[in-house]
C-alpha cells in the first residue's frame, strides 16, 4: 500500500511539473532599413504583450505549449498577425519585416473621438500630417506644414507684420480651433501670429478634423479642429540641423534646430528636448522702402517626458517657452515711433501641462486627469506717422483642466460600445492696452463643459457615433447644447462612406483679429464687439467617400467629401466711421445668417518612400 501511494505521488508531481512547463517566444522586428524600437506585440489568447527594445528584439516568457496568434502593431506601419505553435520548446520566430503605412490607414488618431482609434475606423475623416511630411516639404513652422493639407489655406492678412490665418472649409480662422496635445490652450491673443510661432521640430504629428467638432471641444470648432501632437520619445536619438534659405536669392532666412530623445532600457521613462532658433531679415520686393515680408527673430524650447509607475499607469509632463520678435514697415534702423509705418510685436509664451492616465486591470477602462496652463505677454506697436503713443501691451492667462473616462463596455444592443465621457474647465483672462486707439480690454471667459459620446460598432462594417456636449459659458446667458452624430459604413475593406452632423457655437468674446490693428494710409483699423453681441451657432453637415488600396510597393487613395455649414446670428463687421483719433472703427454685430457649402477632392499616389503625389481641390461656395 505504501509503495502504491509513493508511486502515485511521484506520478502526480511529475504530471504537475509537465503541465506547468512554459517556454519563451522571441524574435526581431524591423522595416526594410533598420530595427524598430517600441513595436507592440500581443498574444491574443493569453492577453499578454511586450514591445521591442533598442535593437528590435522582443521576448515573451512563460508561454505554455499551444497555438497562438501574435498581433504586431506600430505607429506608421501596417499591422500583422502571425500564427505561432509552441511545442514543448522555446521558439525563435524568423525576422519580421513591417511595411510602412504610407496612407496612414492604421495610424492611431485621437481627435476624431477624443479616444485612441485607428484612422480607418474613425467615424469622421481625420487627416494626419506627420513629421515625415514636415521634413520632406522642409516646413520649419506649423503654418508651412498645414499648407500641404487638403481644404486648408494659410492666408496672409497683413503685409506689414505677416498676421496670418487658417481658412478651413471656406471659413476664416476664427471658426477653427487649434489644440495643443488635445487641450484648447491656444487662445485668441496667440492666434494672431501663433501659426508661425510653433516650430515643426516640436511636432510629432498634426491631426486635422474638418467640419464641426464643437460637440467635443467646445467653442469655435465650427469649421474644424487642428490638433498639434508634440513629440514623445520612443528611442535614444539626437539631431542638429539647419535650414539656410534666401528670399528672392538675396534676403537670408536662417533656422537652426537641435534636440535629443532619451528613454531608459525598459521604456518606463523618457524625455524629449527640442530647441529652435530663427532669424529672418525683412524683404522689400519693389524697392519702395516698405517690407513685403517682415523681420523675424524667434527662439523656442520644448520638453515632453513620461514616467510609467506601473504597466497600467502613465504620468506625462509637457511644456514650451517661445520668444518671438517681428517687425514690418519701413526705416528698420530707426525706433518704431520715428518711422512712417511700423507694425511690431514681441511675444513671450510660457506653457506647461501634466496628464495622469490610469487603466483598469483588464485595460478596458481608462481615466485621464489633466491640467495645462499658459502665460502670454506681448508688447506691440501699431502706428504710422511717427506716432509716439502707438505702443501697447497685452497679457493673456489661460488654464485648462479636466477629467475623462474612456472604456469598452462590451457587446449589447447588437454591437460593441466604446464610451467617452468627461468634463472640462477652460479659463481665460485677457488684458490688452492700446491707448492710442482707445482700446482697453479686460475680459475673463470661463467655460465648463460636460461631454458624452458612444461609438457603436455594428458588425465589421458599421460604426455609429452619437454624442454631445453641454457648455456653461459666463459670456452666454444659458447653457449651450452641442449634439453630434456620425456614421461609418465600410462598403468594402478598401472603400468607406461617412456621413455626419454637428452643432457648434462661437461665444461673444474677443477674437484674434480684434488684437491686430491694420495700418492703411497712416491710419489704423480697429475691431470691437458690440455690447449686445449674442452667440453665433452653426449646423454642419458632412459626407465623404474614401478609397485606399495597396498594390505591392504602390499605394493609391482618393477622398471625395462634401460639406454644408449653416450659420445663424452670424458675426458681421459694420463700419462706424472714424473714432476721435481718425482711425476706422469696425463693430462686430449679429447678422441674420449665412451658409457655406463645397466639395473637396483629394487623390494620392505613393511608391514606397521614394515618391509621393497628392492633389487637393476645394471649392467652397459662401452665401
- Sketch the domain layout of the chain as residue ranges: 18-97, 229-622
- Interval 504-509 mean pLDDT: 90
C-alpha cell at 265: 532600457
Q: Is the pLDDT of residue 426 over 60?
A: yes
Output the pLDDT for position 446.
Answer: 95
At residue 214 the predicted structure's pLDDT band, cuts being 50, 70 and 90, is low
Q: Is the pLDDT of residue 43 over 80?
A: yes
**Separation of alpha carbons 16 and 387, rounded Å:** 92
Output the pLDDT for position 17.
Answer: 47
C-alpha cell at 238: 539626437
- Interval 118-123 mean pLDDT: 87
Output the pLDDT for position 170.
Answer: 82
Q: Is 408 helix (H, G, I), strand (E, B) or coil?
A: strand
- Interval 325-340 mean pLDDT: 93
User: Which range, of 219-233, 373-387, 416-430, 444-458, averages the lowest pLDDT?
Assistant: 219-233
How many CA atoms, within 13 angstroms, populate the side-chain half-sphere of residue 609? 13
Percent of the chain with pLDDT over 90: 49
Whether pTM > 0.85 for this model: the answer is: yes
459 or 373: which leads in pLDDT: 373
**Separation of alpha carbons 204 and 230, rounded Å:** 5
**What are the CA-CA distances from residue 114 to residues 35, 109, 414, 452 (Å)?**
31, 9, 24, 10
Q: Is 239 helix (H, G, I), strand (E, B) or coil?
A: strand
**Separation of alpha carbons 69 and 319, rounded Å:** 40
Mean pLDDT of the chain: 88
**Separation of alpha carbons 209 and 176, rounded Å:** 10
At residue 527 the predicted structure's pLDDT band, cuts being 50, 70 and 90, is confident
* Contact (CB, 8 A) for 349 and 375: yes
At residue 544 the predicted structure's pLDDT band, cuts being 50, 70 and 90, is very high
Q: Is the pLDDT of residue 296 over 90?
A: yes
Output the pLDDT for position 458.
Answer: 93
Output the pLDDT for position 211.
Answer: 79
At residue 130 the predicted structure's pLDDT band, cuts being 50, 70 and 90, is confident
CATH number of 229-622: 2.40.170.20
Number of helices followed by number of strands (H, E) in the chain: 5, 38
C-alpha cell at 498: 461617412
CATH class of 18-97: mainly beta
Q: Is 426 helix (H, G, I), strand (E, B) or coil?
A: strand
Overall residue count recorded for the chain in this entry: 623
Of 183, 33, 26, give the one whose Cα is nearest residue 90: 26
- Interval 528-543 mean pLDDT: 91
At residue 9 the predicted structure's pLDDT band, cuts being 50, 70 and 90, is low
At residue 522 the predicted structure's pLDDT band, cuts being 50, 70 and 90, is low
Output the pLDDT for position 13.
Answer: 47
Q: Is the pLDDT of residue 109 over 60?
A: yes
Percent of the chain with pLDDT over 70: 96
For 229-272, what is each residue's pLDDT tens digit? 999 998 899 999 999 999 999 999 999 999 999 999 888 999 99
Task: State the residue for C-alpha cell 477653427.
Answer: 176
**Separation of alpha carbons 498 and 559, rounded Å:** 11
Is it true that 18-97 and 229-622 share their CATH fold? no
Q: Is 388 helix (H, G, I), strand (E, B) or coil?
A: coil
Q: Is the pLDDT of residue 16 over 60?
A: no
**What are the CA-CA distances from residue 191 to residues 160, 173, 206, 376 (Å)?**
17, 9, 17, 11
User: Which range, of 125-134, 206-215, 406-415, averages the lowest pLDDT?
Assistant: 206-215
- Interval 391-401 mean pLDDT: 95
For 157-169, what is each residue's pLDDT tens digit? 777 777 778 888 8
Beta bridge partners of 529: 588
* Torsion of Cα atoms, 110 then 113 then 116 then 120, to 10°: -90
Of 375, 323, 333, give the one whose Cα is nearest residue 353: 375
How many CA atoms, within 13 angstroms, populate the side-chain half-sphere of residue 596? 21
Residues with Cβ within 8 Å of 532's Cβ and at least 6 positions away in sequence, in order, are none
Q: Is the pLDDT of residue 187 over 80?
A: yes
- Interval 31-56 mean pLDDT: 85
* Torsion of Cα atoms, 445 then 383 then 573 then 569, to 10°: -10
Output the pLDDT for position 623.
Answer: 64
Containing 4, the helix (H) or strand (E) segment is: helix 2-19
Amino acid at each position: 500500500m505504501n509503495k502504491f501511494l509513493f508511486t502515485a505521488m511521484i506520478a502526480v508531481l511529475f504530471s504537475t511539473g509537465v503541465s506547468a512547463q512554459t517556454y519563451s517566444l522571441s524574435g526581431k522586428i524591423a522595416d526594410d532599413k533598420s530595427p524598430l524600437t517600441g513595436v507592440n506585440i500581443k498574444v491574443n489568447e493569453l492577453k499578454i504583450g511586450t514591445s521591442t527594445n533598442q535593437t528590435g528584439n522582443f521576448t515573451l516568457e512563460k508561454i505554455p505549449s499551444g497555438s497562438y496568434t501574435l498581433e504586431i502593431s506600430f505607429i506608421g506601419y501596417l499591422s500583422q498577425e502571425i500564427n505561432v505553435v509552441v511545442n514543448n520548446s522555446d521558439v525563435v520566430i524568423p525576422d519580421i519585416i513591417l511595411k510602412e503605412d504610407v496612407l496612414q490607414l492604421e495610424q492611431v488618431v485621437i481627435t476624431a473621438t477624443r479616444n485612441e482609434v485607428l484612422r480607418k475606423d474613425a467615424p469622421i475623416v481625420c487627416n494626419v500630417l506627420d513629421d515625415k511630411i514636415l521634413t520632406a516639404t522642409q516646413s520649419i513652422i506649423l503654418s508651412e506644414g498645414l499648407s500641404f493639407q487638403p481644404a486648408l489655406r494659410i492666408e496672409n492678412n497683413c503685409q506689414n507684420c505677416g498676421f496670418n490665418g487658417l481658412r478651413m472649409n471656406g471659413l476664416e480662422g476664427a471658426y477653427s480651433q487649434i489644440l495643443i496635445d488635445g487641450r484648447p490652450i491656444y487662445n485668441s491673443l496667440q492666434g494672431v501670429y501663433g501659426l508661425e510661432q510653433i516650430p515643426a521640430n516640436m511636432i510629432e504629428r498634426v491631426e486635422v478634423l474638418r467640419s464641426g467638432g464643437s460637440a467635443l471641444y467646445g467653442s469655435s470648432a465650427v469649421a474644424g479642429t487642428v490638433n498639434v501632437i508634440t513629440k514623445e520619445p520612443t528611442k535614444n536619438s539626437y539631431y542638429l540641423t539647419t535650414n539656410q534659405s534666401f528670399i528672392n536669392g538675396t534676403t537670408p532666412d536662417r533656422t537652426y534646430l537641435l534636440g535629443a530623445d532619451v528613454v531608459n532600457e525598459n521604456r518606463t521613462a523618457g524625455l524629449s528636448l527640442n530647441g529652435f532658433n530663427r532669424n529672418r531679415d525683412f524683404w522689400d520686393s519693389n524697392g519702395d522702402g516698405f517690407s513685403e515680408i517682415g523681420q523675424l527673430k524667434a527662439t523656442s524650447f520644448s520638453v515632453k517626458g513620461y514616467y510609467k509607475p506601473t504597466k497600467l499607469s502613465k504620468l506625462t509632463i509637457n511644456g514650451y517657452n517661445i520668444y518671438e520678435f517681428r517687425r514690418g514697415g519701413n526705416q528698420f534702423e530707426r525706433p518704431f515711433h520715428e518711422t512712417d509705418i511700423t507694425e511690431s510685436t514681441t511675444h513671450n509664451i510660457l506653457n506647461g501641462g501634466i496628464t495622469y492616465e490610469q487603466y483598469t486591470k483588464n485595460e478596458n477602462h481608462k481615466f485621464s486627469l489633466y491640467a495645462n496652463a499658459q502665460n502670454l505677454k506681448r508688447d506691440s506697436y501699431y502706428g504710422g506717422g511717427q506716432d509716439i503713443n502707438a505702443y501697447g501691451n497685452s497679457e493673456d492667462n489661460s488654464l485648462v483642466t479636466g477629467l475623462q473616462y474612456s472604456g469598452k463596455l462590451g457587446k449589447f444592443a447588437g454591437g460593441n460600445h466604446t464610451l467617452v465621457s468627461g468634463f472640462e474647465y477652460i479659463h481665460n483672462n485677457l488684458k490688452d492696452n492700446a491707448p492710442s486707439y482707445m482700446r482697453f480690454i479686460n475680459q475673463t471667459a470661463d467655460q465648463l463643459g460636460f461631454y458624452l459620446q458612444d461609438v457603436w460598432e455594428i458588425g465589421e462594417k458599421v460604426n455609429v457615433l452619437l454624442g454631445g456636449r453641454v457648455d456653461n459659458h459666463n459670456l452666454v446667458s444659458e447653457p449651450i447644447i452641442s449634439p453630434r452624430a456620425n456614421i461609418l459604413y465600410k462598403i468594402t475593406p478598401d472603400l468607406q462612406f461617412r456621413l455626419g452632423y454637428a452643432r457648434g457655437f462661437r461665444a461673444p468674446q474677443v477674437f484674434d483679429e480684434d488684437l491686430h490693428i491694420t495700418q492703411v494710409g497712416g491710419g489704423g483699423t480697429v475691431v470691437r464687439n458690440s455690447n449686445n453681441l449674442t452667440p453665433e451657432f452653426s449646423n454642419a453637415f458632412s459626407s465623404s467617400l474614401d478609397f485606399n488600396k495597396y498594390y505591392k510597393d504602390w499605394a493609391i487613395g482618393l477622398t471625395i467629401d462634401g460639406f454644408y455649414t449653416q450659420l445663424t446670428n452670424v458675426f458681421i463687421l459694420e463700419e462706424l466711421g472714424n473714432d476721435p483719433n481718425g482711425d476706422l472703427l469696425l463693430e462686430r454685430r449679429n447678422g441674420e445668417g449665412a451658409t457655406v457649402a463645397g466639395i473637396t477632392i483629394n487623390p494620392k499616389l505613393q511608391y514606397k518612400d521614394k515618391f509621393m503625389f497628392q492633389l487637393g481641390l476645394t471649392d467652397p461656395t459662401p452665401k
